[in-house]
Amino acid sequence: MPLWFELGGPPLALSFEYESGSESARTSASAMAQIVCQRALADLRKQRGLIYDIEFDLFEGGGHQSIVCFTADPRRENADLVCSELRQILQELASNGPDELELQQLTDDIAGFVADPRSAVVAATDAARRHLVGEQIISPEQMVTETAAVTSQTVKDVLSLRFDPQLVGMPEGTGTSDPTLNSFGTGAHEPVSGRAFKRSLRGSFQGVPSKARLVIGDDGVSLVDRVVTTIRWEDVRGLEYTSYGIALHGVDAASVELQRSWFAKGHEAFALIESRVDPSLTYRANVG
């Protein structure tokens, strides 16, 4: 950490931790995220046409730390630029906080939402979620009061822990040139030494790149493609059997998904991997 990885689809996602030990902190985090989205839509969509939309989710964590995740939809050729611009928006907000007009607009928006009878379903859903996770249930009127209490400083406090993205998911087929973000397999993880399995003829028809290879050695497994993804044996956390093949999971969300048909003598490669993984770490995916 911090690191980036290639998502299996078109979105761009970036996330980081924030302190969530109080209702005020959680409300300030929601306000921060809404303001980031508003600024991104004003600049990256309306002014520059780099994205169409941006959304956020808040994920409650253990203790007093939670995660905020932003998801945007740039074109592939703009993905790295949009990632950089979103980080710049966060930097500006962390340094200077929101202005009073932005905060007042949030309060007006939540007050208007609460006044709409259709908000009752959302309020009931939120109350159920809070009950389930053991949080204090607050009324819609309290939501307005809490939002009105958010200040520029409380928003800046949300970003004081670690506002710079810890995980960045780049759209499929793209990467980032940001030197501050590590990538699976780059830097500390060079390919392991061992037996190399080259792409098979069937693999070529399945879209496996011509220079891709799977290396299995005494230290671990490396999948060499546009980047090198290495999982060392001591870092293995699970071997998943799926309907298409296997997925080897390691620490820090590292994962290698494989099909036998991708590589020449793929059945031998699978056997080598299975022989090195503790049987207690193997499981079968529920594929119906």
Most confident stretch, 13-22, 37-46, 152-161, 219-228: 37-46
Q: Is 213 exposed, middle or buried, given 0-12, 13-18 or 19+ CB atoms closer than 10 A?
A: middle
pLDDT of residue 287: 53
* 197-209 pLDDT per residue, tens: 999 999 999 888 8
Domains of the chain: 3-170 (3.30.830.10), 184-284 (2.30.29)
pLDDT of residue 43: 96
pLDDT of residue 285: 76
* 220-264 pLDDT per residue, tens: 999 988 778 889 999 999 999 988 899 999 987 778 899 999 999
Q: Give the residue, 264 or 5, on which the prediction is more confident.
A: 264
The structure's pTM equals 0.67
Whole-number Å distance between alpha carbons of 285 and 240: 6
Is 63 a residue whose pLDDT tops 80?
no
* 100-115 pLDDT per residue, tens: 999 999 999 999 988 9
Is 162 a residue whose pLDDT tops 70?
no
Q: Give the residue, 22 or 239, on which the prediction is more confident.
A: 239
pLDDT of residue 187: 42
